[in-house]
Structure 1
Amino acid sequence: MGIASSLRLFGKAPASYLFNGFRRQMKNPLMKKGVVYAGVSGTCAAAGYMFGNFVMEKHIYQVKYTEEQEKEVLEVENRLQNLKIVKDLRQNPSFRELRMPFNRSNHSLTNNLLSGPGRITVPPVIFYDKSTRQVYAIAHVGKDVGLDDDTIHPGLIATCMDEVLAICSFLSLPNKIAVTANLKLSNPTKAYTNHFYILRSHLEWTKGRKAQTHGTAYMLDNEDPSKSTCVAIADGLFVEPRFAKYLKHVIPVSL
């Protein structure tokens, strides 16, 4: 049933009145522009939504693990959950827990190329305290990202420390986003693969859009996880972009 047929149910006079009123309104130039803009906006919104879904489907891909890899992941996950520091922080009401699953994006470094069995084996467990601006990240580094002597390249440690320091800076900045302005890293001793690491960071000071953070990385002993060795000391300066308020939607989590 068409619009005109539907309106006839209410009588010819109301139908005629509505159609004549619509014709008069359409003669108004502002009304015509409004209708055109509304149509174009609706079309663009629909096209953008469909294109976004298409891109996401192509951008994210599924990764299938072998039986041996699944066994490795489950073993590391069980050991991670049983670490004393994880249990203690989980019971501490001051800390909130955060865990971001691996994003299988073709264009991601830490969440794709450096993640998975033999690399950063499972998603790191992150704990943060908003009041004291402290962050703890517990991660496992596998054997496939090591050098010939099973040591870890300082660049990998620097990358991980940069992310932990950045999360710490987010806690103190109004829009929860910043970029690395300066990162200083020292390595007191060598770091080895197939170990758990505790990455710690805390806020030192903030001034306007700047935040200075300090952090350390500890390697846990596989035989006695209560023992640890400091393998990195880092200091980072982070700056919130002037247009950060327009980038809130790109942050995958809310701190």
Structure 2
Amino acid sequence: MPLASRFLRPSAVAFSGVGPRLLTRRVQQNLRPSLFQTFSTRARLLQSTEATVQTEAPKPKSFLGRALGIVAIAFFFTTTGFLMAAVPAFKAADGFINPPTDEETLLLYTPEDDVAREVDEFIKNHPVSVELRSSPEFSESRPHLKIPESYRSHNLTGGTLSGTDKVVVPPYIWAEAGGKSLVSISYLGAALCGHPGIIHGGMLATLLDEGLARCCFGALPNKIAMTANLNINYKAPAKAGQFVVLRAKTTKVEGRKAWVEGHIETLVAPGETPLILAEASGLFIEPRQASTMARVYPVQ
């Protein structure tokens, strides 16, 4: 037999006495888990079962307990929501019931920007303002600042028409005692135009309507009146970006009725002649329910 064939032929000695069945049994015995491994596995399963039993959720609360919990949560969130909604209303109501005084309104305004600050300082220090401020017959105020801040957005002259490029700062007003006369100084911006560069005539009408009415408040029993009639004659175009002066005088009072005349003119330096932009006359009547209105809505 060649030498190579001996090495390539399987040796009978290597498998002598070991049949296929015996070899299979030995392999299966080697693959079976030992007794220790079986015991360890069962111990772990037992521990896992005990842990599961111990961590089971506790028994649910009674129906009464759950109901009380739900009621408490609902009460908390309802109360919180009510308070959050009511606080602004309380502030607005307090502003109507306890409005600031005339003197306090002079300290309430804070300019929004440099332009507003410059406009405010110009009006405050103008010779016309200085002269009126020194007169004991006149009281100075900024009545639009008596309107609660949360309500100003619903007010035409105190909110809608106020701000940048409009009525830039709240007007300064000087009212003579007894509702005899009134002077107001304002600045009108470019956002109030009808034609380019020209203030809308309706804006001047609004200033006259409010200014003449406010003039006669002090002459009426409950210090408030509504416009019954207003006649306006426009004299000259009002240019945007200029200071204007409203002057009004109460000419007649009969019970709940007051007649007032006035005009709007340009604000000029001492010695110069102002240009009259519009003239007006009107009849203002105090409503029968004015005593209630005066308590709810401060006008002076």
TM-score by length of structure 2 reads 0.60
Gap runs ≥5 in structure 1: 1-47, 61-67
Counterpart mapping for 1:167-206 below 5 A? 167-206=214-253
Kindly state the Cα deviation for residue 247 of structure 1 after the two structures are TM-superposed: 1.5
Q: Which moved more, 1:120-129 or 1:103-112?
A: 103-112
**Separation in 1 of the partners of 2:153 and 2:288?**
29
Decide whether aligned partners of structure 1 residues 58 and 184 sit closer, same or farther in structure 2, where only a CA change above 3 A counts: same
**Separation in 1 of the partners of 2:254 and 2:183?**
23
Kindly state the Cα deviation for residue 101 of structure 1 after the two structures are TM-superposed: 4.7
Match of 1:30 in 2: none
Match of 2:297 in 1: 251
Decide whether aligned partners of structure 1 residues 106 and 163 sit closer, same or farther in structure 2, where only a CA change above 3 A counts: same
Kindly state the Cα deviation for residue 225 of structure 1 after the two structures are TM-superposed: 8.7
**Separation in 1 of the partners of 2:214 and 2:229?**
15
**Given the alignment of the two structures, is residue 107 of structure 1 paired with residue 154 of structure 2, yes or no?**
yes
2:153 partner SS: coil
**Separation in 1 of the partners of 2:254 and 2:144?**
32
Match of 2:114 in 1: 71
Decide whether aligned partners of structure 1 residues 224 and 133 sit closer, same or farther in structure 2, where only a CA change above 3 A counts: closer
Match of 2:190 in 1: 143
Q: Which moved more, 1:208-217 or 1:144-153?
A: 144-153
**Given the alignment of the two structures, is residue 218 of structure 1 paired with residue 265 of structure 2, yes or no?**
yes
Match of 2:89 in 1: 55
Amino acid in the other structure paired with 1:99 = R
Decide whether aligned partners of structure 1 residues 211 and 101 sit closer, same or farther in structure 2, where only a CA change above 3 A counts: closer
**Separation in 1 of the partners of 2:261 and 2:252?**
10
- 2:277 is matched with which residue: 231, 234, 243? 231
Kindly state the Cα deviation for residue 52 of structure 1 after the two structures are TM-superposed: 5.8
Kindly state the Cα deviation for residue 234 of structure 1 after the two structures are TM-superposed: 0.5
Match of 1:15 in 2: none
Decide whether aligned partners of structure 1 residues 164 and 52 sit closer, same or farther in structure 2, where only a CA change above 3 A counts: farther
Q: Deviations over 1:18-46 (max 9, x none)?
A: xxxxxxxxxxxxxxxxxxxxxxxxxxxxx
**Given the alignment of the two structures, is residue 128 of structure 1 paired with residue 128 of structure 2, yes or no?**
no
Match of 1:14 in 2: none
Question: Conserved in 1, the CA contact under 8 Å of 2:245 and 2:265?
Answer: yes
Decide whether aligned partners of structure 1 residues 175 and 51 sit closer, same or farther in structure 2, where only a CA change above 3 A counts: farther
Decide whether aligned partners of structure 1 residues 57 and 128 sit closer, same or farther in structure 2, where only a CA change above 3 A counts: closer
Q: Percent identity?
A: 33
Decide whether aligned partners of structure 1 residues 52 and 207 sit closer, same or farther in structure 2, where only a CA change above 3 A counts: farther
2:137 partner SS: coil
Q: RMSD of the alignment, in Å?
A: 2.8
Q: 1 or 2, which has the higher helix percentage?
A: 2
**Separation in 1 of the partners of 2:230 and 2:219?**
18
Decide whether aligned partners of structure 1 residues 159 and 205 sit closer, same or farther in structure 2, where only a CA change above 3 A counts: same
2:265 partner SS: strand
**Separation in 1 of the partners of 2:92 and 2:215?**
32
Amino acid in the other structure paired with 2:230 = L
Decide whether aligned partners of structure 1 residues 106 and 131 sit closer, same or farther in structure 2, where only a CA change above 3 A counts: closer
1:180 partner SS: strand
Decide whether aligned partners of structure 1 residues 236 and 49 sit closer, same or farther in structure 2, where only a CA change above 3 A counts: farther
Q: Deviations over 1:198-240 (max 9, x none)?
A: 101011111121111000110125x889442000101011111
Question: Conserved in 2, the CA contact under 8 Å of 1:83 and 1:225?
Answer: no
Asked which structure has the greater CA Rg, the reply is: 2
Match of 2:106 in 1: none
**Separation in 2 of the partners of 1:246 and 1:91?**
34
Q: Deviations over 1:138-161 (max 9, x none)?
A: 111112212343111111001011
1:247 partner SS: helix
